[in-house]
Amino acid sequence: MLIPELHIGPYTAKYPVVQGGMGVGISLSQLAGAVAKAGGVGVISGVETGYSWPTYDDDKQKANREALVWHLQEARRIAPEGVIGVNIMVALNNYEEMVAAAVEGGADIIFSGAGLPLVLPALVAGTPVAIAPIVSSAKAAAIMVKQWRAKYNRLPDAIVVEGPLAGGHLGFSYEQLHDTSGQFALDTIVVGVIEALKQLLGEKSQSIAIIAGGGVFSGSDIAKLLRLGVNGVQMATRFVATVECDAHEAFKQAYVQATLADVVIIKSPVGMPGRALGNAFLDEAKVGNKQPEWCRVNCLKPCNPSQAPYCIADALVNAAQGHFHEGFAFCGSEVHRVDRITTVSELMQELMGELAEQ
Ligand SMILES: Cc1cc2nc3c(=O)[nH]c(=O)nc-3n(C[C@H](O)[C@H](O)[C@H](O)COP(=O)(O)O)c2cc1C
């Protein structure tokens, strides 16, 4: 198969691969810069981006904004010609401030999920920043398009369709995740999204890049999705097991060691299901032994600290630093197939080689 470029608004990536944003601290400048340099779209996570910033304990929100600007500039230094985005979850308490910091830092694209980013066009108005909602259904894609068109006369530059096999928080109910009818499979949802956009927008739908993610592992997976009509894929799990990934070595090794039996669906404190590597910390949290005494971070709108089984920000920061006794790792469904740590450029060459052979 001929390998297509990926066009998102005015930006063009050489390869049709977006590295999914991974918080907390898993995809920062080193990973995003390396992916952008290797021809994909590199994405910095906008969740507690400043967790290791020197002034984080004095003023967390200021540190998050400063760190995001710094990571964007650093990723740009690594990949001056590359395409670099930021993932900012709608559920963040500091959503608007982080979007402003992404614009200030020179992000090319803002990806935004975990809720519908209904006000995002207003936040980037007058800037060249492309915007891409992340959705898990044709219904959500149609709502986004209708609302943005009616309110802002703007269409998304891309839509990321995230299926039930993704890592991190999932836009599906427990029942939907265990449904075996195929109606919630990524392929089915992707076809539904493409159809819904065609019906709503006709020819104009072609200006929106469709990017599919969740469980994409090999070049043949990418080819299958491209043949369904997507313009690119979003991959996260495979990029964790790279030299350049910003997580601690122990986090990467947890991926290499993972077996299928280690993967669990958890109920996150924010109320959504999530896919993660099970461990003693999560077992303890389940029986109520990890309840936070107070909220240090105030990160997510839907979190109620007095009822949360654990502090998700602390747990994810601990894991990013390799402290798994007080944290856990999110992962995609195919993590058990990760068998070694490689470089981003080798991984990209491997994927594109496989894709070319399809
Ligand atoms: C460790 C980890 C952290 C993640 N954090 C976020 C996040 O902060 N925001 C988000 O929108 N998606 C997040 N995701 C989802 C990814 O961006 C991506 O869409 C998804 O994992 C793709 O599936 P794959 O991992 O099977 O390739 C995360 C995924 C992983 C594995």
User: Within this chain, do residues 105 and 159 fall inside the same structural domain, yes or no?
Assistant: yes
User: Within this chain, do residues 229 and 100 fall inside the same structural domain, yes or no?
Assistant: yes
Q: How confident is the model at residue 308 (pLDDT cuts 50, 70, 90)?
A: confident
182-186, 191-195, 270-274, 302-306: range with lowest mean pLDDT: 302-306
User: Within this chain, do residues 267 and 184 fall inside the same structural domain, yes or no?
Assistant: no
Q: Which protein residue's CA is at the shortest distance from atom 5 of ligand 1?
A: 22
| DSSP bridge partners of 134 | 160
User: Within this chain, do residues 265 and 226 fall inside the same structural domain, yes or no?
Assistant: no
The best mutation among 22, 35, 255, 262 to test binding of ligand 1, ranked by most ligand atoms within 8 Å of the C-beta, falls on: 22
User: Within this chain, do residues 132 and 97 fall inside the same structural domain, yes or no?
Assistant: yes
User: Within this chain, do residues 150 and 266 fall inside the same structural domain, yes or no?
Assistant: no
Name the residue range of residue 304's domain.
249-326
Average pLDDT over residues 189-211: 97
Q: How far is the CA of 188 from the centre of ligand 1 (A)?
A: 20
User: Within this chain, do residues 112 and 172 fall inside the same structural domain, yes or no?
Assistant: yes
pLDDT value at 50 more than 80? yes
| DSSP bridge partners of 131 | 110
The verdict on pTM exceeding 0.95 is yes
Specify the pLDDT at position 228.
98
User: Within this chain, do residues 99 and 165 fall inside the same structural domain, yes or no?
Assistant: yes
Average pLDDT over residues 29-39: 98
User: Within this chain, do residues 192 and 303 fall inside the same structural domain, yes or no?
Assistant: no
Average pLDDT over residues 143-163: 97
- Residue ranges of alpha helices (H) inside the chain are 29-37, 60-78, 95-104, 120-124, 138-152, 174-177, 186-201, 219-227, 237-240, 249-257, 280-286, 312-320, 344-356
pLDDT value at 291 more than 90? no
Specify the pLDDT at position 303.
81
Q: Is residue 333 part of a domain?
A: no
Q: How far apart are CA 354 and CA 358, in angstroms?
A: 7
User: Within this chain, do residues 165 and 207 fall inside the same structural domain, yes or no?
Assistant: yes
User: Within this chain, do residues 166 and 141 fall inside the same structural domain, yes or no?
Assistant: yes
Supply the CATH number for residue 48's domain.
Answer: 3.20.20.70
Residue-wise pLDDT tens digits, 7-18:
999 999 999 999
Specify the pLDDT at position 244.
98
Q: How far is the CA of 202 from the centre of ligand 1 (A)?
A: 31
